[in-house]
Structure 1
Amino acid sequence: MADIFDRIEWSVRKVFGDNPVCVHVGNVEACAIKRHPAYPKFRSDAISAGVKSASSSRLWESMIAMGRLCDLDGDDTWRLVILDCITPSFRAISTRVARGFQAELEEIRSAMVTAALEVWVDTALGVPPRHVRDRMVKTAFDVAFQYGKTGSTEYPTEEIELFFRPDTLSQESSVKALSVVDFSSIRNPDVAEQIRGERYGALLQRLGHFGIAQRYHEEIRAGRRSGSVGQAVKASMLSRFRISDPNLYYYTSDLYPSFVGLREAAKVMGIAESAARRLIRAGEFPFPVARAGRSYLVSVKALMHFMEILDAIVHVDDIENGALHASGVTL
């Protein structure tokens, strides 16, 4: 009979299958490190590294970072991967406790997973990534023995599915406007959307970066790139009459690389790279970073969120009109 451990494993394998897995930036094609194992091999390596010494494993440091980054996007994929690579160590102890105390095995295993996820939430800030895996395992073991002795735990196992949803504790903050215009005060959403896009296009033109946007526009018009166009349309629910195509919305972050180096990110944040490294090692960096070999990579979306830079939904027509106006060209 399938239990919670099996369901976690099936969920993860359904996502990855036998495809290569990138734990560095989440995208095999975009990763500078070219060797990526298929998920079965990746899982085996992660289980082995966790048993030997998760606190000194770069693989586990990368896994924890990817889990945190996915949490920011409301994606639980890497959180499930982490569970899938931890729960094999739960099987033997849960079986022993169930037999020794004549307790319900499924209840014990569900309680262990719930406890591990509780630790995952509690260690989101202030705990170095290298310590997270061991804390999850230790707490799960303690809960298993507690359940065996008393027949209950402080964790409501019937609500375990709640832990697979995006964290409600994800960081939230206000965002900076792209200009002095307060778009929230404009009653007509179409007008607010148009002004936002045009001002962003004008900004790109003035900074000399509009060519990047032009190339991106050509690719999504030709169907060679989709970026987050579909997500943007769904999120905005906007469809103005005076636009060329309602499918040509996108997020401004689509124009940027997915990740930048730690030095560049630290410069944007106004701190020294050495200070950023110390904060990462101490688990006190304000948002998760990815690990690629000996280097750290910073998610641009996470950096924008921290700097309170609006990741706006824009339409290609508005961007191009704004850039055209800023260039001084008249039709």
Structure 2
Amino acid sequence: MFDHIEWNVRKAFGKSPVCVHVGDVKECDIKRHPTYPKFRAEAISAGVRSAPTSRLWESLIAMGRLCDLDDDSTWRLVILDCIVPCFRLLSTRIARDFRVEREEIRSAMVATALEVWADTAVGVPPRHVRDRMVKAAFEVAFRYGSANSSEYSMDDIEIFVRPEISTPSSPLRATSIIDMSGIRDTGVAEQIRGERLGALLQGHGCFDAVRGFHDELRSGRRSGSVSQAVRATRLGRSRISDPNLYYYASDLYPPFIGLREAAGVMGIAESAAHRLIRAGQFPFPVARAGRSYKVSVKALMHFKDIPDAIVHVEDIENGALHANGGVR
């Protein structure tokens, strides 16, 4: 199991630089990034020395939480990969002393570590998460060995798959005469959703930047973020419209903003946001870059119940054109 975790993580990162601050080397203010083997060695060493005081582990836990919001297990696997070296020697010794299957013990340790990961999502400061995962895994290994039993429930391994989060209705619904919940034609609903957002962007006077984004999509200099799987299952008109011109509404915004700006959107003071982060009570994970914090715009949208709609270039532009009185 441990080798399988390591293989999957190394396959995901390859030989590219790894950014634990915001996830994307190009978006990060810190310009020097290690490859994954070097990063892993540093994380393992920092965890053994003192994870509660390690900025690296604080950032690592935050990245895992942010990926959870997107149903992405990559950084959760990274956390496991940086923890399981502590499990190898103990699981081998318990298997030998108690004459039980080593792989069964290791499976139990990983499942327990994932349980703790889920249980510490709220109310536990990121700096304490790693040590809690390790401690719980050690305890279950000793209990498993002393019971000398091969029976252990692996049901909780399903934590790898988060339940789908229902998307709230559009914030423009109150100003529209059309009730989206009553529309059964997915193609019509898709078109209205895009036109509403286009009208909103035009009303805020920021459509010139949107038009530039659309020009990049049309020229092929940039591709939409909507995957083929989503196109096939959720887009009503993808067979007759160019599927490469679909994108998420969040693509129009920067991936991260500063804590001060995020606190302003949330309606709290920046100092209060800092206190909540230190206490592990901030309502969603934040990324640490050096001495500052950055907030994922997608996470902030989830918190504010702002739907991250899938839209098409032409629908956005038609909505903006209508809001501008037909003037391009």
Normalising by structure 1, we get a TM-score of 0.92
Is residue 133 from structure 1 mapped to residue 127 from structure 2 by the alignment? Answer: no
Out of 172, 187, 194, which is 1:178 matched to? 172
> How has the CA–CA distance of structure 1 residues 152 and 241 changed in structure 2, closer, same or farther, with 3 Å as cutoff?
closer
* 175 and 281 in structure 1: CA distance in 2 versus 1, 3 angstrom threshold: farther
307, 312, 317: which one aligns with 2:309: 312
| Aligned match of 2:235 | 237
Q: Name the structure 1 match of 2:161.
A: 166
- 5+ residue gaps, structure 2: none
Report the Cα distance in structure 1 between the residues aligned to 2:170 and 2:277, rounded to whole angstroms.
26
Which whole-Å CA distance do the structure 2 matches of 1:33 and 1:296 have between them?
Answer: 13
Contact 2:273 2:282 in 1 (8 A): yes
Q: Paired residue for 2:44, among 35, 44, 47?
A: 47
Partners of 1:71 and 1:246 in 2: CA distance: 26
Query: 2:271 is aligned with what amino acid?
Result: S
1:260, 1:90 → 2: CA distance?
37
* Residue identity matched to 1:167: R
Answer yes or no: is 1:34 the counterpart of 2:31. Answer: yes
One-letter amino acid of the counterpart of residue 46, structure 2: A
Instruction: Determine the C-alpha separation between the residues in 1 that align with 2:239 and 2:134.
Output: 55
Determine the C-alpha separation between the residues in 2 that align with 1:210 and 1:6: 49
Aligned counterparts of 2:151 and 2:258: Cα–Cα separation in 1: 42
Give the CA deviation at 1:268.
0.3
Q: Deviations over 1:256-277 (max 9, x none)?
A: 0011111000000000111111
Distance 1:153 1:213, change over 3 A: farther
2:278 maps to which residue?
A: 281
Corresponding residue of 1:120: 117
| Amino acid paired to 1:72 | L
**Unmatched segments (≥5 aa) in structure 1:** none
Contact map agreement 2:301 2:308 (CA 8 A) in 1: yes
One-letter code aligned to 1:236: R
1:203-225 Cα distance to aligned partner (Å, 9 max, x none): 11121110111011011111111
Q: Secondary structure at the match of 2:244?
A: coil
Superposed CA RMSD in Å reads 2.0
Q: What is the SS of the residue equivalent to 2:247? A: strand
> Is 1:301 aligned to 2:303, yes or no?
no
2:158 is aligned with what amino acid?
Answer: L
Query: Structure 1 CA distance, aligned partners of 2:151 and 2:203?
Result: 58
The aligned counterpart of 1:224 is 221
1:220-243 residue CA offsets vs partner (Å, 9 max, x unmatched): 111111141335534523216875
1:267-321 Cα offsets, whole Å, 9 max, x none, are 0000011111111111111111111111111110110011001111111111111
More deviation in 180-189 or 89-98? 180-189
Q: Which residue of 1 aligns with 2:4?
A: 7
CA separation in 2, counterparts of 1:79 and 1:112?
A: 15
Report how many residues are paired: 324
* In 2: Cα distance, 1:45 partner to 1:74 partner: 26
Q: Distance in 2 between matches of 1:12 and 1:242?
A: 38
Q: How many Å separate the matches in 1 of 2:127 and 2:200?
A: 41
C-alpha distance in 2 between matches for 1:154 and 1:125: 30
In structure 2, distance between residues paired with 1:247 and 1:68: 29
Structural mapping, 1:78-227, within 5 Å: 78-152=75-149, 155-157=152-154, 159=155, 162-163=158-159, 165-168=160-163, 174-180=168-174, 181=176, 182-227=179-224
